[in-house]
Amino acid sequence: MSGELSPIDKAKFVAAKKAVEYVEDGMRVGLGTGSTAAWMVRCLGEMVREDGLKIRGVPTSARTAALARDVGIDVVSLDEAKWLDLTIDGADEFDGEFNLIKGGGAALLQEKIVATASDRMVVISDVSKEVETLGAFPLPVEVIPFGWQTTKALIEEMLDSLDVLGQTTSLRMNGAAPLFTDEGNHIVDLHLNRIGNARQVAMVLNQIPGVVENGLFVDICDTVVVGYGDGRVQVRDINENAVSEDRLEFVESENLFSDLGD
């Protein structure tokens, strides 16, 4: 079955497979949202079923919670877990300082809460998500529905004073209607093209009334695991200033490929 995977899916899989090596018995683990994180959840489920791994998973979205339960992971809330040993999640972009843009899956609020409540955040990614400067991927900003157009206008006004290349914004839609997050909020996507100072942009955005949270993750990620389509995987650790490489073999009997719908 693994032979049917595209190179991009192979890259996501090997990154996820390598990242779950950080998970130990008894850990409380934050479970990210998105296509790459779905591979990770499947890998953890396989470890639970076949190796007897015992963990408690805190999902970052309703769809991750459903997948985790389906594969046999014990799902608890963050309030039940209180603090996490590790969070593994994907990213829409990451730079050389491990700053991230997240929120392409509209789960940025729960993702940021869970990540900051963890001793360690490991990001899993394929190499296409690596950039010199953040901003090519639209920056998601979660806003409350009340007065969202006013909030959007305030965001646009704020962008005039920041080091960004583009200033176009758009309300994220779900078909013909505005998208709602798990918390019942909207997402405004900022098409900035280049973000010169991610920390400044993140701080200023969160001062605007109506903004709940933004998709810039600054000083949160500790480790990035980058997968390649040929099975290579690179682990970069910002705390140890270390880079290591490995190659993972694909096993044709991997049953976690059989029903992965993400």
Binding residues for substrate: 33-36, 89-92, 102-105, 129
The binding site consists of: 33-36, 89-92, 102-105, 129
> Is residue 223 classed as helix, strand or coil in its secondary structure?
strand
Structural Rg of the chain based on CA atoms: 18
Which one of the listed residues 46, 93, 111, 142 is annotated catalytic? Answer: 111
The answer to whether residues 88 and 41 touch, using CB atoms and an 8 Å cutoff, is: no
Query: CA dist 168 to 26, 56, 134, 234, Å?
Result: 46, 41, 16, 35
Rounded CA separation 226/232 (Å): 8
241 contacts: CB under 8 Å, gap ≥ 6: none
111 is catalytic: yes
Distance of CA 60 to the CA centre of its chain: 9
Burial class (CB in 10 A: 0-12, 13-18, 19+), 223: buried
Rounded CA separation 164/234 (Å): 30
Segment holding 218, helix H or strand E: none
- In the chain, which ranges are continuous DSSP H helix? 7-19, 35-51, 62-70, 78-81, 108-116, 148-159, 198-205
Q: Please give the single-letter amino acid code of residue 213.
A: E
Catalytic residues: 111
